[in-house]
Amino acid sequence: MIQFSPQTQTNIDFAADLFRQSKHAVVLTGAGLSTPSGIPDFRSTGTGLWSSDEPMEVASLHTFRTHPEKFFQWFRPLANQIYYAQPNPAHTALAELEKAGRISCIITQNIDVLHQKAGSTGVIEMHGTMKTLTCTQCYHRVDAEFHLASFVEKGEIPHCPKCGQVLKPDVILFGEQLPQAAWFKAQREARQCDLMLVAGSSLEVLPVAGLPMQALDRGAHLIIINNTQTYLNVRADVTILEDVAMIIPAITERVFNG
């Protein structure tokens, strides 16, 4: 069993109490939840994806439309990491909480499908998903599995089986709007919840970063678990600046076993 500092253990116990008292808990996850699974985040100094690349040059809708090969060249290492990644203990613990009825849904900024691989079903994907690709010409949608494997292993840019045009991964690029249905559902959950757990998100990317404030404005409790500070740490009931893959399972264990 992991031994935490007295202050961390107190925070874990308090967070577990909030979950036990909650009637409608919601989780918001960011890239930091998947870094223990080997997927890099975007903004960490030195290791984040934007430490070496300018996002508007490689990951924008404009770049995809005008130079898709440039986008896919940048995207291939990330796709490789996502393709082979497995859920870590934080994903598994959240799936257990969902199965037990302790959380209503997971709102995620991640595209890696690790929540679903861990067993979660109520997942709202705010920035799209790697599960599917859509043709830029005829809008035919395909499952990503076959095309992603060929792309990761051979670097082959995926093309539509119907019209031959380039297939776009169904992830949200810079210059694209968030999926409307997902955004409306996420706002509804944020406004109805009595507890929100933010895990692995620096809360720097709008509009999703504003969801915890919507919850707070309606009287919800807030737990933040992240390696770095966020703009809402001062408003949170509990803040834990440690590894999500250790802290979330510890909270889950306390929820179930007291």
Indicate which residues carry an active-site annotation.
127
Which strand ranges, in their side-by-side order, compose the sheet holding 105-108? 123-125, 105-108, 25-29, 195-199, 221-225, 238-240
Yes or no: say if 200 and 34 are a contact pair by the CB < 8 Å rule: yes
According to DSSP H, which parts of 160-223 are helical? 180-192, 211-217
Provide the CA 41 distance to its chain's centre, in angstroms: 10
Structure tokens at 189: 């959950």
Q: Rounded distance, CA 92 to CA 95, Å?
A: 5
Across the strands, what pairs with 105? 26
